[in-house]
Amino acid sequence: MANIPAGIDDTVPLAEVADVELYHPKSWWTTYVFSQDAKVIAIQYSLTAISIGFVALVLSWLMRIQLAFPGALSFIDAEHYYQFITMHGMIMVIYLLTALFLGGFGNYLIPLMLGARDMVFPYANMLSYWLYLLAVLVLVAGFFVPGGPTGAGWTLYPPQSILSGTPGGKDWGIILMLTSLILFIIGFTMGGLNYVVTVLQGRTRGMTLMRMPLTIWGIFTATVMALLAFPALFVASVMMLFDRVLGTSFFMPTIVEMGEHLKNGGGSPILFQHLFWFFGHPEVYIVALPAFGIVSDLISTHARKNIFGYRMMVWAIVGIGALSFVVWAHHMYVSGMNPKFGFFFATTTLIIAVPTAIKVYNWVLTLWRGDIHLTLPMLFALGFMVTFVNGGLTGLFLGNVVVDVPLAKTLFVVAHFHMVMGVAPIMVVFGAICHWYPKVTGRMLDETLGRVHFFVTFVGAYAIFFPMHYLGLLGVPRRYSELGDTAFIPPSVQALNEFITIMALIVGAAQILFLFNLAWSLRRGKEAGGNPWRATTLEWQTPQTPPAHGNWGKELPVVYRWAYDYSVPGAAQDFIPQNQPNGDRISREPAS
């Protein structure tokens, strides 16, 4: 690592740490399978997460078919329906979104965007992936054991989750689910420590915290949150596992089951809900914050404008992360809490809308008078913004106790949740894949296929979830496998349900198109070159594409400016890479 020639720049301190020695794999196995390279681990995480996500997608198809055409598929009975709901929810939230954003994008982007050679502990990073894979396999094993997977709902509320009335409650299902969660958390902790320490201690020269791309800020804050929130789920899982296997009564009150007094007594089901949601609410932002960060970078790059209010964006991310730890009981308005708690948690919940709204305004202001290129990543970023605002607004309804109480058990919640935490982050996932695919593979995705996929997904998602709000307001309950003859439900609900199901099948099929695009472009896509989007951040400045082992060749990059020098007046190009010396002092970086 040489010093910068004198006179070009005096603002970058010298190196404080010696360059790291990398582990150099010697065989095919240690290069591609048991790899310690964060980029390979990222791809392993992503492929596993996407594969298991497709299982969850198929489950949602089956559920929708059952709702619209009850009895059409003879193998779906009420119990199966519950199992599908549970597995769909758990897979999508934890095994797809959390693993993909943090394990996938986190692993790929953190070292590259910060100018590091790899994560700080490559070996623990590798273990992290293999534990994640084991967790996924244990989860999937639920489908093949007697009694099938658990049907307790993705929140696993006791006591029902471990009683015989619930599928898998007295069989293997719930045991496998809890074991899988515990494995996932142990594996995630290994990876999470890597991400946090790499961001804090592993940056290159000149990469100050306030020069990090917002993607990194989002992933970093989300990982810190995950390290503090997953312990609650870990503890809850261990305790419920003991309740189920050893016969303890942590969460089990005195219960009569099938006319028989169980031996349990004295436990508190509400305790589980508190532990679960102390994890569960931060989990929403563990998924959302990386999405916020990534979308900020996509918008800035593809609108060729610096992000509006960078510092505000950083503090909004940190603020949302902190606030999200004091809102958990808004999931429990109908659980029987002291009404004063409801007041407190409703207040904190609504306060979160402030930093979130700041972020949305800043995205809009970044677009304003920008040179907007409607590339695939930009389309998905725009799709995200619209969907997120929609989902967020219905969150204001549900955050209020009096509005939540009548709506809590209806499809309104399902619609809100899927808009804000299903469709919106998935939009970012697609946008991010389209954005970074050229760096990962060296080739561009096919534009036409991508556009078809975007429009079908975007319009289709609205066709699915917009009517669902209306069904919820009518009072159609969620988690019912069929409605039967219910006095307050008009017959038109059936028609709407059929419409939603058909749209869901179409949107699901469009995802196969996306997968096809990924596979097809791998060989047939246009050559991308090193920096197809003309972006400023470090991962586009690597000597090779895809980046080689060690990322940077002989010398680590040195950072002279923030990540958002787009369309700077007086510059030769409409972007200035972060590692270009700032000799003539043309940068839009806010003074620190």
Partner 1 sequence: MSQSAQAKPEIALPRPAGLRGFASDWASDQRAFKNVSWGKAMMWIFLLSDTFIFGCFLVAYMTARVSTAIAWPNPSTVFALSIGGKEIPLILIAIMTFVLISSSGTMAMAVNYGYRRDRRKAAILMLTTALFGAIFVGMQAFEWTKLITEGVRPWGNPWGAAQFGSTFFMITGFHGTHVSIGVIFLVIIARKVWRGDFDTEKRGFFTSRKGNYEIVEIMGLYWHFVDLVWVFIFAFFYLW
Can you tell me the distance from the alpha carbon of 445 to that of 437, in angstroms, rounded to the nearest whole number?
A: 7
Shortest Å distance, C-beta 257 to partner 1:
16
Can you tell me the distance from the alpha carbon of 56 to that of 103, in angstroms, rounded to the nearest whole number?
A: 19
Can you tell me the distance from the alpha carbon of 525 to that of 573, in angstroms, rounded to the nearest whole number?
A: 26
Can you tell me the distance from the alpha carbon of 456 to that of 53, in angstroms, rounded to the nearest whole number?
A: 19
Shortest Å distance, C-beta 225 to partner 1:
11
557, with CB counted inside 10 A (0-12, 13-18, 19+), is buried
Shortest Å distance, C-beta 110 to partner 1:
14
Distance of CA 113 to the CA centre of its chain: 19
Shortest Å distance, C-beta 29 to partner 1:
15
Can you tell me the distance from the alpha carbon of 418 to that of 187, in angstroms, rounded to the nearest whole number?
A: 27
The length of the chain, given as a count of residues? 592
User: Is 332:411 a contact under the CB 8 Å cutoff?
Assistant: no
Query: SS3 of 301, please?
Result: helix
Shortest Å distance, C-beta 278 to partner 1:
8
Can you tell me the distance from the alpha carbon of 338 to that of 301, in angstroms, rounded to the nearest whole number?
A: 48
The residue (of 204 and 537) whose beta carbon lies closer to partner 1 is 204
Q: Any idea which residue has 């050893």 for tokens?
A: 246
Burial 460-490 (b: 16+ CB within 10 A, else e): bbbbbbebbbebbebbbebeebeeeeeeebe
Shortest Å distance, C-beta 10 to partner 1:
7
Instruction: At 242, list the tokens.
Output: 């003991």
Please report, for residues 284, 347, 351, 390, 400, the alpha-carbon distance to residue 404 in angstroms, rounded to integers and kept in the order given: 18, 14, 17, 17, 6
The residue (of 26 and 524) whose beta carbon lies closer to partner 1 is 26
Shortest Å distance, C-beta 204 to partner 1:
7
The residue (of 1 and 364) whose beta carbon lies closer to partner 1 is 1
The residue (of 14 and 258) whose beta carbon lies closer to partner 1 is 14
User: Is 300:307 a contact under the CB 8 Å cutoff?
Assistant: yes
Shortest Å distance, C-beta 18 to partner 1:
5
The residue (of 211 and 478) whose beta carbon lies closer to partner 1 is 211
Can you tell me the distance from the alpha carbon of 22 to that of 190, in angstroms, rounded to the nearest whole number?
A: 19
Shortest Å distance, C-beta 219 to partner 1:
15
Can you tell me the distance from the alpha carbon of 431 to that of 445, in angstroms, rounded to the nearest whole number?
A: 11
The residue (of 154 and 278) whose beta carbon lies closer to partner 1 is 278
Q: Any idea which residue has 């725009």 for tokens?
A: 382
Instruction: At 575, list the tokens.
Output: 């972007």
The residue (of 202 and 460) whose beta carbon lies closer to partner 1 is 202
The residue (of 197 and 519) whose beta carbon lies closer to partner 1 is 197
Can you tell me the distance from the alpha carbon of 331 to that of 345, in angstroms, rounded to the nearest whole number?
A: 9
Shortest Å distance, C-beta 250 to partner 1:
6
The residue (of 317 and 378) whose beta carbon lies closer to partner 1 is 317
Contacts with partner 1 by CB under 8 A lie at 1-3, 10-19, 21, 23, 120-123, 189, 192-194, 196-197, 200-211, 227-228, 230-232, 234-236, 238-239, 242, 246-250, 263, 265-268, 271, 275, 278, 559, 592
The 8-class DSSP code of residue 430 comes to: H
The residue (of 318 and 489) whose beta carbon lies closer to partner 1 is 318
The residue (of 325 and 520) whose beta carbon lies closer to partner 1 is 325
Shortest Å distance, C-beta 289 to partner 1:
18
